[in-house]
Amino acid sequence: SQQGEEDPQALSIQEGENATMNCSYKTSINNLQWYRQNSGRGLVHLILIRSNEREKHSGRLRVTLDTSKKSSSLLITASRAADTASYFCATGPAGDSGSRLTFGEGTQLTVNP
């Protein structure tokens, strides 16, 4: 079963607007990662946030992590048409070898020019 669940499944916005995607997970984690996938391509790593961190920034990306609610959000500010892609969260489990990164089903973001 999938560890992470993204919400919404699909999001359509205008260029320049902000896009927020959410991820919820079920078990304790060591870290949470966000990836982007352009149509027909492999996944590209965006940002990693560890369980002892609450917020992280990278360029126009802002990720928050709330371990008490087992949830994370990805904010893309001032979106561009080139941000159109699927976005996946992935969790690295705590407590075991940590060798199994588990992905959610993704959010399809469409940025209209």
Partner 1 sequence: NAGVTQTPKFQVLKTGQSMTLQCAQDMNHEYMSWYRQDPGMGLRLIHYSVGAGITDQGEVPNGYNVSRSTTEDFPLRLLSAAPSQTSVYFCASSTSRTTNEKLFFGSGTQLSVL
**32: nearest Cα among 83, 76, 85, 71:** 71
Q: Which of residues 70-99 bind partner 1 (CB under 8 A)?
A: 88, 90, 92-93, 97-99
Q: Is residue 13 within the footprint of partner 1 (CB under 8 A)?
A: no
Q: Is the dihedral of CA 97, 100, 104, 106 positive or negative?
A: positive
31 binds partner 1 (CB under 8 A): yes
- With 0-12 / 13-18 / 19 or more C-beta atoms within 10 angstroms meaning exposed / middle / buried, residue 78 is exposed
- Fill in the per-residue mask, 32 to 71: x = in contact with partner 1 (CB under 8 A), - = not in contact: -x-x----xxxxxx--x-----------------------
Q: Which residues bind partner 1 (CB under 8 A)?
A: 2, 30-31, 33, 35, 40-45, 48, 88, 90, 92-93, 97-106
